[in-house]
Amino acid sequence: MNIARITVTNSGSSPYKLEGRTAKNLYKGPSGELKDKIDKMYAEINRQNKSFADPKEHIRRKYFDKTYAHYRVLDGKYLSADRMNAYQNEMNVLDGGNPIFYSVEDYKYYGNEVPRIHGEIESYRSRIHDRLNMDFQVSKLFKENGIYIPNDVPLIFRSDLYTQRISVLGNIDDVLKQDIENILNQDQNSFVLSLHMVQSSSGISLSQQYDPEKSRLWNLADKIFKYTGLDMRDLEARDGSFFTKDGEDILVKISEGVKEATKGNTKKEQRDALGLLGLDIKYFSKKGILKENDFIDIGFQNGHLMDMHQKYKYGVGQNDWIHDMAREKGVDDYELSKDGIKLIDKGKSFFVDSKKVHAYQNTYQQNENLPQKFDVKKALDDFFSKNLFDIPIGTNLNILYEKIPNQLFVYGIQNSVISEMVNTSINKDKGLLNLFSQLSTMNFSVKI
């Protein structure tokens, strides 16, 4: 098939392009506010630490020398998790980094109101916020290109799994349909919209049209198309790989593209990225790829993208359930717009539930001086060392454990495909689940 993703633009067309998620429109809810306030708090503490002749020695004595005038009593325990967290945070900020541990407990220690945060609801709100921004972007794209779709006419935008090319289904004339397809397939618009569709229907959305295996295939097909311009359906599967009509091994063919895309990374990271694709190529060469159901759909009506075939929908008029969920969980309820959030109802006072372990874990942070109760950090490091996920270095992962139904939720990975792979794999690790389960029954709270 070898269909090009890029469509030649008309000479008079607008230069506006779909952006998808950007730094200027990322959702910032209570957890984001918590992070900002803790960053600000440690910046002020760092300013005070630097006023001492030897800041590192001052920090060390502040936490571990009871005879020191500036000794921090905290909870009265000499080697508590809270003391270790605060010490390591101050040292890391002094060295030019950010706090390693973000915790509501830390927030409470410094006398501020504890935010009401529910990890799963925050993830849903982030997707609703993304949808509001994508609605705005798609409407602006159409307006600036002179495309006007009649009111109350339902359309379906269908993304091809292997090329991310968008086709339009619906009761409109062929000229308008072609104009819409042309602009949606122009430049990177089709990829941005397809990625949004994937992010909207993956993982927690409980989609009937998209599952982890289809997500894995989408990611592989995208890399092959991106680096070679080839459609996976045109390749021959044999000998644990895919081959072009000329007999070229697709893994060899995409290796240069992967190296170029990761040229700022170490050689090991480049090998890991290629190795992950190699595993997927081997898997699908044996299992086979989708010849039917090789697309993902999203509706569009009256200027809004509308989710299809999934339990949790994020479109305008589809997402009232988030308010019911917030009230049910007893957390703050917000009205969302593309520009931010507005509090409409306060939830219950926050308390640290012994059934949950909240963690903001930088898996690449090497730190050997941890107390015994940080066994879970070692277990997480072992998990990520064993599973070579393509996660950018320095990514802060927020891990939430829920005792019922004994499940881990990993947040913080921007790539939804990788995020889904991590969540699927981590919940198959019985050792990690058992460890978190044991921690949750103990009479302490720990930030990992």
CB atoms within 10 A of CB 339: 11
Residue 5 in this model has a pLDDT that exceeds 60: no
Domain residue spans in the chain?
A: 30-109, 358-441
Residue 425 in this model has a pLDDT that exceeds 70: yes
pLDDT at 390: 65
Could you tell me the two tokens for 354?
């012994």
pLDDT tens column, 130-153: 999 999 999 999 999 999 999 999
Of the listed ranges 45-54, 158-167, 270-279, the one predicted with least confidence: 270-279
Q: Measured between alpha carbons, how far is 201 from 178 in angstroms, rounded to an integer?
A: 26
pLDDT at 108: 65
pLDDT at 37: 85
Q: Measured between alpha carbons, how far is 380 from 151 in angstroms, rounded to an integer?
A: 51
Is 5 within 8 Å of 191 (Cβ atoms)?
Answer: yes
Of the listed ranges 104-108, 263-267, 364-368, 372-376, the one predicted with least confidence: 364-368
pLDDT tens column, 32-86: 888 888 899 999 999 999 999 999 999 999 988 889 988 887 766 666 777 888 8
50 or 421, which is more confident? 50
pLDDT at 269: 77
Is 207 within 8 Å of 309 (Cβ atoms)?
Answer: yes
Question: Percentage of residues in the chain with pLDDT exceeding 90?
Answer: 46
Mean pLDDT of 229-244: 94
Residue 11 in this model has a pLDDT that exceeds 60: no
pLDDT tens column, 173-228: 999 999 999 999 999 999 999 999 999 998 888 999 998 889 889 989 999 998 89
pLDDT tens column, 120-131: 888 899 999 999
Mean pLDDT (the chain) is 81
| DSSP H or E segment with residue 39 | helix 30-49
Q: Is 298 strand, coil or helix? A: strand
Could you tell me the two tokens for 180?
């819409």
Q: What is the band of 360 on the pLDDT scale with cuts at 50, 70, 90?
A: very low
- Give this prediction's pTM: 0.71
Residue 413 in this model has a pLDDT that exceeds 80: no
Is 391 within 8 Å of 404 (Cβ atoms)?
Answer: no
What sign does the CA torsion over 122, 131, 296, 326 have? positive
Mean pLDDT of 263-286: 85
pLDDT at 96: 94
pLDDT at 277: 87
Q: Identify each DSSP E strand in 95-177 by its residue range.
A: 155-160, 166-170
What sign does the CA torsion over 91, 92, 94, 98 have? negative
Q: What is the band of 416 on the pLDDT scale with cuts at 50, 70, 90?
A: low
Mean pLDDT of 361-385: 52
pLDDT at 366: 37
Q: What is the band of 392 on the pLDDT scale with cuts at 50, 70, 90?
A: low
Is 27 within 8 Å of 126 (Cβ atoms)?
Answer: yes
Is 371 within 8 Å of 79 (Cβ atoms)?
Answer: yes
* Top mean-pLDDT range of 35-39, 248-252, 257-261, 409-413: 248-252
Q: What is the band of 422 on the pLDDT scale with cuts at 50, 70, 90?
A: confident
Mean pLDDT of 1-24: 62
Task: List, in sequence order, the alpha helices (H) in 202-266.
Answer: 212-228, 250-261
Residue 399 in this model has a pLDDT that exceeds 90: no
448 or 179, which is more confident? 179
**Looking at the DSSP assignment, which residues form a beta bridge with residue 334?**
343
Of the listed ranges 30-44, 314-328, 377-391, the one predicted with least confidence: 377-391
50: left (phi over 0), alpha (psi -120 to 50) or beta: alpha
pLDDT at 114: 65
Of the listed ranges 79-93, 245-259, 348-362, 373-387, the one predicted with least confidence: 348-362
pLDDT at 405: 64
Distances (CA, A) of 190 to 5, 226, 250, 297, 329: 7, 13, 24, 13, 37
Q: What is the band of 375 on the pLDDT scale with cuts at 50, 70, 90?
A: low
Q: Measured between alpha carbons, how far is 204 from 122 in angstroms, rounded to an integer?
A: 12
Of the listed ranges 5-9, 98-102, 155-159, the one predicted with least confidence: 5-9
